[in-house]
Amino acid sequence: MTFFKRTVKTVPIDRKTVLVRADYNVPLDTKGAISDDLRIQASLPTLRYLLEHQCKVVVMSHLGRPEGRDESLSLAPIAERLEELLNVPVMFVEDAIGDTVVQAVKRAPKNTIVLLENLRFYPEEETNSEEFAKKIAKSTGARYFVQDGFGVVHRAHASTDAITHYIPSVSGLLLEREYTTITRAIEDPKRPLVAVMGGAKVSDKITVIERLVEVADKIIIGGAMANTFLRYKGHDMGASKLEAGQEHVLDGIYQAAHRKLETSVDDFIILPTDVAVASEVSETATRKNVKLGSLAECDMALDIGDETIDRMIQELQGAKTVIWNGTLGLAEFPEFAHGSARLALELATHPEITSIVGGGDTADFVLKWDGDGGRSFSHVSTGGGASLELMAGKKLPGVESLLDAAR
């Protein structure tokens, strides 16, 4: 599909100062070191393109949820990692606006990166402040704004929306790839299309599931979300985590599926037939497979069971496209990561399947599992909420505000 917005490759950026919104909201370990640099690595193609065109590149991002200035969430470690990856000087500035930024950008030679401090040190960022955006534009002196932070484009913030009112704004290479890959998988997939949905809450993914009922050939449900589906279908789930008040939502999903299908809905929306349980949530808990109808009062379903794993793999045979969003169990504990690991293995060893892995916890899991930076899959998204909203067919403020592509 053709992207409907102008990109960095369609504007004359040679030797200009360019402001880039990246998404460097990366996980940090207990010592404050970067534990997963997927989002930094994903930003490199756009940055390299700009450097090749002799641009002075100013990059801005947020990290975490600080309440005011919090040095433990400074972007200084990001600057060090960027310099290692790009092998060019990265000048870190301890502000995002003001004279410090003006002077840093002025001093920076062409073919260098200037990284601004955490945008969320400023409360105006999340209120989509026009004044704050104007200050960023003025302080950096940028001739173009490049939106390349896919993980934040579903939010209307000063650095994703208001900034586009002051600088001509285009898409970066990562944003273009994320948008076109996910949209194509939903709107024009190679079929059969199988969606695998996990995670904790139905309410977090209701609009995506509703869309998938329309477009998918099969939907496999796992994770704690499956407990709510199974309880809706009349199964006793013991002490498993359930989401209350979703009956009307599930009524709507099943009614839509009935309208679509001539066959049994249970062969379209595939639920677990057994689960892996424990009586406590802990890393030392022992996995026990239990058939539905046999859960004890104290049993908590923490993963899909072995029979369900086998059924899932069987359902994936012949699939041409698989969209996976949400782990299938409590995957941070190895005992309850069996379902997620088996799905990852199936996708990684079948390159003929176009595999789209959602961001957030799903991306975190496959990156730890893969050992090859996610390259075993067709696409590992850098955006959790953004990928969900895009799959659901929602408009993304940080994309809509960019310049339209020439017709």
48 is catalytic: no
For position 294, what pLDDT does the model report? 96
Q: Read off the pLDDT band of 313 (50, 70, 90).
A: very high
Lookup: tokens for 97: 């606006």
Catalytic residue among 39, 56, 205, 287: 39
Determine what percent of the chain is predicted with pLDDT higher than 70: 100
385 is catalytic: yes
39 is catalytic: yes
Angstrom distance (rounded) from CA 369 to CA 290: 26
Q: Read off the pLDDT band of 2 (50, 70, 90).
A: confident
Which amino acid appears at position 401 of this protein?
A: S
360 is catalytic: yes
Q: Kindly state the helix (H) or strand (E) to which residue 399 belongs, with its residue range.
A: helix 397-400
Catalytic residue among 48, 138, 211, 385: 385
Q: Stretch 99-103: mean pLDDT, rounded?
A: 97
Q: Kindly state the helix (H) or strand (E) to which residue 182 belongs, with its residue range.
A: helix 173-187
Supply the mean pLDDT for the chain: 95
Lookup: tokens for 31: 């010592």
Return the residue matching tokens 């990001």: 78
Is pLDDT at 342 greater than 80 in this prediction? yes
Predicted structure pTM score: 0.93
Q: How far apart are the first and last CA of the chain?
A: 14
Q: Which domains does the chain have, with CATH numbers?
A: 8-174 (3.40.50.1260), 181-391 (3.40.50.1260)
Angstrom distance (rounded) from CA 20 to CA 172: 8
Is pLDDT at 370 greater than 90 in this prediction? no
Is pLDDT at 29 greater than 90 in this prediction? no
Q: Stretch 319-346: mean pLDDT, rounded?
A: 96
Angstrom distance (rounded) from CA 407 to CA 394: 23
Catalytic residue among 359, 360, 383, 384: 360
User: What residues are paired with 7 via a beta bridge?
Assistant: 171
Q: For the ranges 150-159, 262-271, 364-373, which has the lowest average pLDDT?
A: 364-373
Is pLDDT at 324 greater than 90 in this prediction? yes
Catalytic residue among 201, 211, 260, 342: 201
Lookup: tokens for 235: 């199964």
CB atoms within 10 A of CB 120: 24
16: Cβ contacts below 8 Å, ≥ 6 apart: 55, 56, 142, 143, 144
